[in-house]
Structure 1
Amino acid sequence: MEWLTYLLEVSVCTTLFFGFYLLVLRKLTFFKINRFYLILSLLLSLIIPAFQVNIEKAVEPLPVVNVQPGLTVQEEEPTQPPLQVMPAEDAAINWFAWLEITYILVAVALMLICLWQLFQLLKHTKEQSQNINGSKLISKQKGFTNCSFFNYVFINQDYLTESELQVLLKHEQVHASQYHSADKILMMICKAVLWFNPVIYLYNKALEQNHEYEADEVTSLSFGNKDYANLLLKLAIAKSDMPLVHNFVKSPVKERIKMLFHSKSKNMKKLMYLLVLPIAIGLIWLFTVQVVYAQAEIKHDKTFQDTLKKPLSKNKELALPDVKQTDPYFTSKDYLDKLSSMNEVHGKTISGAVVGEYKIGEKSSFMRGYLFKSGEKTYVL
């Protein structure tokens, strides 16, 4: 269940972050910032639900119940055992087990497809290439053409003039210098993990558009918007089925041309990116922070704490009055012998029998007790 909860929370995060992008950021011409926003928000969506921060909150202590020594509280046993519905529980467990297996199989299959496409692409990078300004130009007439993967550029030179080739190379060099291919690999992994979430495919499309907008903006500064737009229209019929490459006309050409002639956003509008902070903080509080209610510690003064440290006793011991000055018996050998015997067995358990009554004084009103004999010695109780 934890993995399902995590994936659902990630989906909620991606939905809110991308919704903010569509409503606020999509029309801005800060393409590089938009690119980093999409990547960062996607990574945050994966990270936020994975962490757990506990915040302790004190609550009022429960009332203390004083129980007299010797008394015990016993809970009543239930008269009937709790009802157990085993078939329904087993069915639920099996359902979640099948759901987990299905998710893993689809995710692994998509990852294997991604690795196979990457392997096929790397095979073409071993072909003979021509190094132009740090880009490795590979002539290719079939399959994916007029596209790039990192600094490898696949060109069909049969339909391009020299000037058009320079424009296309400049465009692909922007992709290579900004490491746009790394973003595409990251998106392939995210699509394999979150294949059930439709928002992840919108993320992929938006990120790909920002890659092209950024490359179009830099290239058009060198060759002009009009000539560059004409080249886009000329190559618009070319198609590519390789998702890991940046095709020159893969993204919607109409949107790219409109963005070329779109007025640039003012720098003050960069403050709009700060509006995402409440969304991020809210998601962190919702999925990462957990409030734990703990009972507050009761603080007592020193006198009360010292009292708690004293051992409890059933019987309260009373101090004897100072009678040594009035009754000479307390200095007699008989009393001193009995006192010495009592001190020897104080705190111990002995066996014996009561053999008589013990009295002090003629009126027998000052002290009363019993004589307890154990073995050869007699003690006073």
Structure 2
Amino acid sequence: MIHVAIQIIAFQLLFLLVYDVFLKKETFFKANRWYLLGTAVLSFILPFLKIDALRERIPEQFFITLPAVLIGNNGSQPGISEITLDAVTISQTSWNWITIATWIWCVGMGIALAIFLLKLFKIQKLRRAGILRERADFNLIILPNTDVAFTFFDTVYLGDQLSEVQQKSILLHEQVHVTEKHTYDLLFFELLRIVCWFNPLVYVFQHRMETLHEFTADARVAAQKSRKEYYQELLSQVFQTEKISFINTFFNHSLIKKRIIMLQKSKSKNIFQLKYLVLIPAVCAMLLYTSCSDESKIEEATVQDDGEVMTKINELSEAIMKKGNLTDEEAKALKFLATEATPDAKVYESVQEYLDVSNKAEIPFAIIDKVPTFPGCEGMSNADAKQCMSQKIQAFVAANFNTKVGNNLGLTGRQKIRAQFKIDAFGKVVDLRVRAEHEALAEEAQRVISSLPQMTPGEHDGKQVAVLYALPILFEINE
């Protein structure tokens, strides 16, 4: 979703640049109004539009696929057999960055909504304090002891301190806001401000729309009376202004200069409407980006690959059931296929290469006389000693692993850690290697495993030998 939010902001920025460079100074007020509304909505739709035809027409030489990197190290030595211990699962409840960001967004929306409701309450309070005078096309409310002037929906609010001449001129202006239903435009952007309070471009969109509304109303009024007279009215009056973002205020001091400049402009030539065609390549570029950055293709390919693998597995299962018993070599090959690949595992080009190497192993774990023994697991058979050792190491790692590491990294979900170490001929942990996606997790796992107590070393043919162990650790962080 973060990628989608970034796309929305980028698209809005491009639409605003097109508006400011090509359209803002033209007198196509109605077209500009639809441009601002349409592009604001379009910026939220485009990130979800994926056109496969655009992606398929791009030549493959424009795509760069990086080769897979395999990091392999056999790590086997004569007299050493690897024992894979049961996985250690460590659970933790954590406030990750996604959770924190979601809470911040919700709190921000709550604050923005509260401000919006406060503005509505303020308008309602003014309505109750005023005197209602119904007109044919709109409602007029006279506010006591003030000289404000603004429009909200089909109601015009005027202060009673305005003269009759001033009220007449203002009503002509505000009536345009009523008939054109400008309040709906501003409320639309107000709702966007609540949801996207963190996006400054939404505020820019609303300000551009507010300015456009004033240009539209000024053009209508100037067509009905002398422009010189209207200029003088704008310049001579200094009134209070209600600071509410979704009402149309008549006297906004920051807009007076812009309104006069726009009134002085002659009507734009129709040929200049071709500027709106700039929107076509801009939208096409956005569609090209969203279509080519679509990750669904990767997911679809993965699903197809998984389906092909499942088909092969089903065929293999049927062949095994038909044959019945497997030879020792076939059993080894099947075990190899079911073995989980690890970053430090040896990479075999074929099953036969694996069989050739495994058949040359000097001391298979299955025939070792005595496996290393964890303190408290003495006097057991090899199978029981291995199970006891797995349970002891699980308890030790779970008890000593610092789960606060996940908070510092902002992790979520399941993190996999792969450790490999030897119990040497003296019963000590040596040659420890740890693999993890995050270095801090690897360092913490290395610290814990290094602190394992000294054990009784393994024995074979009356000699103490080193034994290689693999320990998978699953670090689960619950949101």
Q: Normalising to structure 2: TM-score of the pair? A: 0.52
* 1:165/1:207 CA distance change after superposition, 3 Å: same
2: CA distance between counterparts of 1:143 and 1:7? 43
State the shift of 1:52 in Å.
4.2
1:27 match: secondary structure: coil
Paired amino acid for 1:26: K
Residue 45 (structure 2) aligns with: 47
Pick aligned residue for 1:196 from 195, 198, 209: 198
1: CA distance between counterparts of 2:269 and 2:131? 45
Residue 235 (structure 1) aligns with: 237
* 1:285/1:180 CA distance change after superposition, 3 Å: same
Residue 224 (structure 1) aligns with: 226
Pick aligned residue for 1:292 from 284, 289, 297: 297
1: CA distance between counterparts of 2:244 and 2:147? 7
Residue 272 (structure 1) aligns with: 275
Residue 322 (structure 1) aligns with: none
Identity %: 25
Residue 251 (structure 2) aligns with: 249
Paired amino acid for 2:141: I
Paired amino acid for 2:148: T
State yes or no: 1:98 paired with 2:100.
yes
Q: Structure 1, residues 251-276: CA drift from partner, whole Å, max 9, x if none?
A: 51011111111122111100111111
* 1:129/1:24 CA distance change after superposition, 3 Å: same
Q: Structure 1, residues 291-341: CA drift from partner, whole Å, max 9, x if none?
A: 83889xxxxxxxxxxxxxxxxxxxxxxxxxxxxxxxxxxxxxxxxxxxxxx
Residue 113 (structure 2) aligns with: 111
2:156 match: secondary structure: strand
Pick aligned residue for 1:32 from 21, 26, 30: 30
- In the alignment, structure 1 segments of 5+ residues that lack a partner are 61-75, 296-381
* 1:116/1:261 CA distance change after superposition, 3 Å: same
State the shift of 1:236 in Å.
3.2
State the shift of 1:222 in Å.
0.8
State the shift of 1:104 in Å.
1.8
State the shift of 1:135 in Å.
1.7
2: CA distance between counterparts of 1:160 and 1:216? 20
2:138–2:156 Cα contact (<8 Å) kept: yes
State the shift of 1:101 in Å.
1.2
* 1:164/1:149 CA distance change after superposition, 3 Å: same
* 1:144/1:242 CA distance change after superposition, 3 Å: farther
- In the alignment, structure 2 segments of 5+ residues that lack a partner are 61-71, 76-81, 302-479
State the shift of 1:185 in Å.
0.6
Residue 261 (structure 1) aligns with: 264
Superposed CA RMSD: 3.5
Q: Structure 1, residues 194-223: CA drift from partner, whole Å, max 9, x if none?
A: 222222222121111100000000011112
Structure of greater Rg? 1
2: CA distance between counterparts of 1:7 and 1:176? 34
* 1:242/1:270 CA distance change after superposition, 3 Å: same
* 1:50/1:57 CA distance change after superposition, 3 Å: closer
* 1:113/1:18 CA distance change after superposition, 3 Å: same
Paired amino acid for 1:292: K
Paired amino acid for 2:155: Y
2: CA distance between counterparts of 1:10 and 1:122? 35
2:141 match: secondary structure: strand
Residue 12 (structure 1) aligns with: 10
2:131–2:143 Cα contact (<8 Å) kept: no
State the shift of 1:123 in Å.
4.4
1:184–1:244 Cα contact (<8 Å) kept: yes
1:118–1:244 Cα contact (<8 Å) kept: no
Q: Structure 1, residues 212-244: CA drift from partner, whole Å, max 9, x if none?
A: 000000011112211112221233342222222
* 1:90/1:263 CA distance change after superposition, 3 Å: farther
Q: How does 1:49-68 map to 2 (within 5 A)?
A: 49-54=47-52, 57=56
State the shift of 1:40 in Å.
0.7
2: CA distance between counterparts of 1:194 and 1:144? 34
Q: Structure 1, residues 324-379: CA drift from partner, whole Å, max 9, x if none?
A: xxxxxxxxxxxxxxxxxxxxxxxxxxxxxxxxxxxxxxxxxxxxxxxxxxxxxxxx
State yes or no: 1:157 paired with 2:160.
yes
2: CA distance between counterparts of 1:210 and 1:129? 29
Paired amino acid for 1:25: L
* 1:135/1:48 CA distance change after superposition, 3 Å: same
1:32–1:210 Cα contact (<8 Å) kept: no
Residue 217 (structure 2) aligns with: 215
State the shift of 1:13 in Å.
0.8
1:143–1:240 Cα contact (<8 Å) kept: no
